[in-house]
Structure 1
């Protein structure tokens, strides 16, 4: 429409312009060239045709140009129209395809969303370091009931503090570089702050026009725990294998190199693992002697090639360690055919071999000891019965009313000596029992050697006189040198046994009893010229129950434990015992004990006799469940004029002490019915703290005395000597 109007305006304008110019200037132009008016008039017709032809030519040109232009435009329009139609068709097709694609995309997006939403692995989208989207699995992982508990919360809040800085840097790098963040393991926190191990991978992701990341999480807590358990089990197995008492090595059947050696395997063979792995090198190192190696290798390979597990064990094989030490081993191979593996085990039996040898020796010694004990028991029965026979036999004789006074006195003396002999035997048995029970009852006090030696000699004076043996006492000590610190009882008993043996095995001649000391020790020796001891017997004479003769034809008495007690007692005192003897010529026994420099003032002064005590004013409570023992105590105390009270158990003793303020002293037995003396004494001390209580008990072992003595003023052991009892009463009942 616009194009048509423009053409019409152009034609009209051209006509008007040409017409106007022709009317205005045609005559003037012609008149300029042809001034003659008649000619001009004659030319008016030609002037009109000129105008018509000129305008026609111009119109033709304009119209033709216009038509050509229109034709070109129409052609172009047609072409454009066809092109546009084609484009339209394509657009239409594309639009249809686009709609289909859009529908598919929307369907895919919906499916993708459903897939993400219901994916079994936790997934979330992060923007601005916050949760922008979370799926159900992530909610479940963090313990959220719904997505609203997580959306818009800070991602770093769910990261363990140990990893926050690292994750913050990781998020920043991903947002800047837009690169996939590789898988990595670290620890997250649930909403309740429970820790979980996770594996995380993140890819750059634009969400609602914001740069962020699509994050995939895998909960590996159970895997980590499983791995940890496996590692712990492997560690446990490795620890067990490394600490087994046997060596273990593994190698394939078709290979000559060990795949595993435990520590014990290296330790037993005494070579580094690298020098033991190759089988050939192993044999060369462990069996350096070529002949022995050839022999052992032949035996082992023959047994292995048999394929029979029962053949693959070898005992008492000698190996050589790198240090050159020799060891004895037992080896066993276990073929695991299905695993193509041979298990080699080895056990070091060197110590076991030595132990077995020692065990054989110990067995022989034990058998010898049992034989000695049997002989001892047989002998001790005889040793007990001998003094008992003297006691009971002469007691019957002494009860004869027609017997004169002198005879009775003689019999009573025999009864006393037999009783002492019986008590000594019993004491020896108790002491050897203490030794075997490893009871140490050593009690160090200040002692006078002269007094101990005198007591020993006086005790044995009767035996010396009966055998007409001269005793030569040689004290090469000054008076102050006779004071030492030692256990009075142990030293006295040791000297008693040594002198007793000298008297027993000496038929005639003399015995020299020598005592000397230097700055450090006291040496006491007893030398006899008796039967002596053979060299063989000297090595065993100090063993318990050992005697130089056995059987029913023995010439000498004794129980066989005297010298073993001497050795034990002297060694407990820090000393030594030695013996020199020659068969048929005599024996010398030497005791050496530590000496201490003490002055005579160190020795405790003896109490003076208290002959002026008025015993009639004293009351003594005797607590004793045995009536005979009570009668003995009552007789001793009554002879001194004291008044006595009697209680047969601890409860009665307590009642008497409550009811009587006149009791001055209590003689308390310990083992009694109802209540023992130890408990009774503790109760009495609560009532009368100052009352003197003296224990009189058959608990005579030192460990027993130590157990009970703390509540008593003094402690007397049964059998009680009347003189000892009177001395204790005098000591504690002084005015």
Structure 2
């Protein structure tokens, strides 16, 4: 099998088309017509010419024979030239068609899109390698299968609807279903097809695309969108999505509704300017200028005005992003009103503390001066005390010395008395 049978059928049809449209195809009729025309002209004019030039019957008979042979030779040469030309053109046509057939078969074999030909009862007649690869088989293995061998039973109703469409309109799809892979897992595919006729029999010509990666990408995109929407509505900051070209708001989150006091219906379809959200036009001009220069803004401090006229302090961030061939602006508004109020209170408290510190510092300076004077008095008293203590120490030493001498004198007197008593006894 050199390629899909449908490809061979198309080539055969093209041969017939070329035959019907090519000058070579009309050659038999042209040869016959030319032969008849030459014959008629030859008979009419050659005989008249001979009778006009010659009157001798013997000469006329001989010339008639020569004329006949000349006519046969002339027509033979003409027939040869015409047939040779026709043969050359047909050979060239068949060569071109053979090359085109090889090209088409090669193209079909290498085409990444699955192609299959099956009978009206679902038996696969031919398929390209891409189709066989979708179901995990070789082309030879695929040819042993029926369309229903690779289709899960739960698609029976859907398949019947497609067959009804095929019979009614001559084509079906595109629609999506699943094929049963050789290893048992299901392969999502997208199909479209039409009825083709070959050898007086109808067949179904189908193109099949493996959409596994598309579904994975679609699922990943859906999950990403779900995550974005969760973050979009769960974030504590107000989020605005607007079109770049006209500034029209296309989506807002619940925090924006709470902060701005505008309902979703009131905000969507209008611009920030129309909602009069910027409290200071200079803030908007600064925001737009940074966006134009850097294509993004990070935490620019500004003031917004709510629907009721209340002002809120904000940090505004923004960045452009593409979506569906358009650019949009994602703006994030963080309410810092309470933080600013707390900072103001903290600043007042700091100023109050500074005043207290200044007062305490002044008191400490006065106290330090008083302590300095007191310390000087203490030092003077200390010096006087040290002088008095030294005098007392000197007097104490004098008294101690006197006391020691008195004790010594007393001991000497007692010693003398003992000696006197001893002398009296001896006498």
Normalised by the length of structure 2, the TM-score is: 0.52
Q: Quote the residue 1:228 is aligned against.
A: 219
Q: Quote the residue 2:28 is aligned against.
A: none
Aligned partner (choices 186, 200, 218) of residue 195 of structure 1: 186
Q: Quote the residue 1:97 is aligned against.
A: 89
Measure how far apart 1:157 and its partner are. Answer: 2.8
Decide whether the 8 Å contact of 1:174 with 1:180 is kept in 2: yes
Aligned partner (choices 233, 248, 273) of residue 242 of structure 1: 233
Measure how far apart 1:118 and its partner are. Answer: 3.8
Deviations 1:182-206, CA, capped at 9 Å, x for gaps: 5433322223332222222324434
Q: 1:333 to 1:81 in 2, by over 3 A?
A: farther
Q: 1:91 to 1:214 in 2, by over 3 A?
A: farther
Residues of 2 paired with 1:310 and 1:176: CA distance?
A: 61
Measure how far apart 1:306 and its partner are. Answer: 6.4
Residues of 1 paired with 2:163 and 2:71: CA distance?
A: 57
Measure how far apart 1:92 and its partner are. Answer: 3.0
Q: 1:333 to 1:255 in 2, by over 3 A?
A: farther
Measure how far apart 1:138 and its partner are. Answer: 2.0
Normalised by the length of structure 1, the TM-score is: 0.32
Residues of 1 paired with 2:175 and 2:274: CA distance?
A: 46
Residues of 1 paired with 2:88 and 2:317: CA distance?
A: 78
Q: SS at the partner of 1:191? A: coil
Q: Quote the residue 1:210 is aligned against.
A: 201
Is 2:142 the counterpart of 1:154? no
Residues of 2 paired with 1:231 and 1:207: CA distance?
A: 45
Residues of 2 paired with 1:176 and 1:76: CA distance?
A: 65
Deviations 1:401-424, CA, capped at 9 Å, x for gaps: xxxxxxxxxxxxxxxxxxxxxxxx
Measure how far apart 1:247 and its partner are. Answer: 0.9
Deviations 1:54-85, CA, capped at 9 Å, x for gaps: xxxxxxxxxx9xx99x97x9989976875565
Is 2:316 the counterpart of 1:333? yes
Q: Quote the residue 1:319 is aligned against.
A: 306
Counterparts of residues 618-637 of structure 1 (less than 5 Å): none
Q: Quote the residue 1:261 is aligned against.
A: 252
Structure showing greater Rg: 1
Decide whether the 8 Å contact of 1:336 with 1:342 is kept in 2: yes
Measure how far apart 1:252 and its partner are. Answer: 5.6
Q: 1:269 to 1:306 in 2, by over 3 A?
A: same
Measure how far apart 1:219 and its partner are. Answer: 0.9
Decide whether the 8 Å contact of 2:115 with 2:206 is kept in 1: yes
Decide whether the 8 Å contact of 2:124 with 2:147 is kept in 1: yes
Structure 1: stretches of 5+ with no match in the other structure: 1-63, 287-292, 361-735
Q: Quote the residue 2:109 is aligned against.
A: 117
Residues of 1 paired with 2:102 and 2:222: CA distance?
A: 45
Q: 1:310 to 1:171 in 2, by over 3 A?
A: closer
Q: SS at the partner of 2:239? A: strand
Q: Quote the residue 1:86 is aligned against.
A: 78
Q: SS at the partner of 2:306? A: strand
More helix, by proportion = 2
Measure how far apart 1:237 and its partner are. Answer: 0.6
Measure how far apart 1:310 and its partner are. Answer: 7.3
Q: 1:245 to 1:74 in 2, by over 3 A?
A: farther
Decide whether the 8 Å contact of 1:132 with 1:151 is kept in 2: yes
Residues of 2 paired with 1:114 and 1:256: CA distance?
A: 53
Measure how far apart 1:131 and its partner are. Answer: 0.4
Q: Quote the residue 1:280 is aligned against.
A: 273
Aligned partner (choices 122, 129, 132) of residue 125 of structure 2: 132
Is 2:96 the counterpart of 1:108? no
Deviations 1:5-54, CA, capped at 9 Å, x for gaps: xxxxxxxxxxxxxxxxxxxxxxxxxxxxxxxxxxxxxxxxxxxxxxxxxx
Q: SS at the partner of 2:280? A: helix
Q: 1:310 to 1:352 in 2, by over 3 A?
A: closer
Q: 1:130 to 1:77 in 2, by over 3 A?
A: farther
Deviations 1:454-498, CA, capped at 9 Å, x for gaps: xxxxxxxxxxxxxxxxxxxxxxxxxxxxxxxxxxxxxxxxxxxxx
Aligned partner (choices 336, 340, 346) of residue 333 of structure 2: 346
Counterparts of residues 308-707 of structure 1 (less than 5 Å): 312-314=300-302, 319-320=306-307, 329-336=312-319, 343-347=330-334
Is 2:290 the counterpart of 1:304? no
Residues of 1 paired with 2:85 and 2:289: CA distance?
A: 85
Query: RCO greater where, 1 or 2, for CA within 8 Å and sep 6 or more?
Result: 2
Decide whether the 8 Å contact of 1:251 with 1:342 is kept in 2: yes
Residues of 2 paired with 1:173 and 1:79: CA distance?
A: 65
Measure how far apart 1:331 and its partner are. Answer: 2.2
Q: 1:79 to 1:197 in 2, by over 3 A?
A: farther
CA RMSD of aligned residues (A): 4.3
